[in-house]
Amino acid sequence: MRSVGQNDKYRSRRGVRTGLAVLALATIASACGQGGGDEAEPAAGQQPLQAPPARALDSYATQLRAAHAARVAAAKRWGLRKVPLTAPPAPVKKPGIATRDGFEVDGHRRLGLPPVFTTVPTKERILFLTIDDGEEKDPAFLRMMSELKIPYTAFLSDYLVKEDYGYFKEMQDRGVGLHNHTLHHPYLPALSYARQKREICGMQKIIEERYGERPALFRPPYGNYDRNTLRAAKTCGITHVPLWNEEVFVDRWEYREWDRSLHPGDIVLTHFRGRDDWKGTMPDMVRRFLDKVTAEGYAVARLEDYL
């Protein structure tokens, strides 16, 4: 039997490292493709992805290990029971969004009014976290969500946000979408069309002036709306009206559905609140949220990526 020389030993070690890196990539690809139907695919005309050189694979595997270690450390630091699951890549083809049965207004489809929905159609085990109003401005919450890399969407009301526009600018800089929750958080069906339009379009203007982007999403206060609400929202540039299927507090969950369960694509509501309103802080609420969804096999995805 031939003895293994120095070059053979080097090639053997290199082959093992390359094999591990390829295995890591294959594992990630497999995990991201679970659920079916929403996976990203190469654009038409593009060549299939080729395996990079061994050095690149080694480097990528190192980066993966470092990222996972950082996520494990963050989960431990913030007191989570398990490391949150990572959502699959955003779908290339967005799912069709329709108004939920029973949530229509007269002439909804004929007038082309924005869809009102509580769940995004998907087979993936993902949820969407949305946070309303803007009253609590907790720096620890921003750090927690950034360190854990948890996406969320904010629906803001100016009468609360104007106390500290900078807090929400920092949130936006960290990749969070800022959307419309009216100027003063009124019960909209009690208002005329003109007053509803002022509430919605006025908040569109504030967000565009302060944050450089005009929102496409709108959530009516308390989840209440009428035909005039959706007509005004459309006129102001709104394309979607996401409500919610579950609401999470610092000490409990509430459910819209009779089965009191999470479902793929559900939108979860919470609020910018702290000890003045809750028996805890926003990080306490996030901990409760993540512990439950992770234990049930759900990852948190970015709502805007699916609309």
- The per-residue pLDDT of the chain, averaged, comes to 87
Dist. CA 168–CA 131, nearest whole Å:
12
pLDDT at residue 56, as a whole number: 76
Residue 19 has pLDDT above 70, yes or no: no
Residue 3 has pLDDT above 80, yes or no: no
Lowest-pLDDT range, 32-36, 116-120, 221-225, 247-251? 32-36
Residue 271 phi, psi dihedral angles, 5° rounding: -135, 155
pTM to 2 decimal places: 0.81
pLDDT-derived band at 59, boundaries 50, 70, 90: confident
pLDDT at residue 248, as a whole number: 98
Residue 268 has pLDDT above 70, yes or no: yes
Average pLDDT of 249-273?
97
Give the DSSP H or E segment for 143.
helix 139-148
66-98 per-position pLDDT tens digit: 888 998 999 999 999 999 999 999 999 999 999
pLDDT-derived band at 49, boundaries 50, 70, 90: low
Of 141, 117, 112, the C-alpha closest to 234 is: 112
Of 271, 243, 265, the C-alpha closest to 256 is: 243
Dist. CA 307–CA 301, nearest whole Å:
12
pLDDT at residue 45, as a whole number: 45
Neighbours of 241 (CB within 10 A): 24
Encoded tokens for 227? 């035909």
**210 or 19: whose pLDDT is higher?**
210
145-176 per-position pLDDT tens digit: 999 999 999 999 999 999 999 999 999 999 99
pLDDT-derived band at 39, boundaries 50, 70, 90: very low
pLDDT at residue 51, as a whole number: 55
Give the DSSP H or E segment for 65.
helix 54-77
pLDDT at residue 241, as a whole number: 98
Of 113, 83, 84, the C-alpha closest to 98 is: 113
Give the DSSP H or E segment for 291.
helix 282-295
Dist. CA 74–CA 70, nearest whole Å:
6
224-237 per-position pLDDT tens digit: 999 999 999 999 99
Give the rounded percent of residues in the chain with a pLDDT score beyond 90: 77
pLDDT-derived band at 50, boundaries 50, 70, 90: low
pLDDT-derived band at 2, boundaries 50, 70, 90: very low
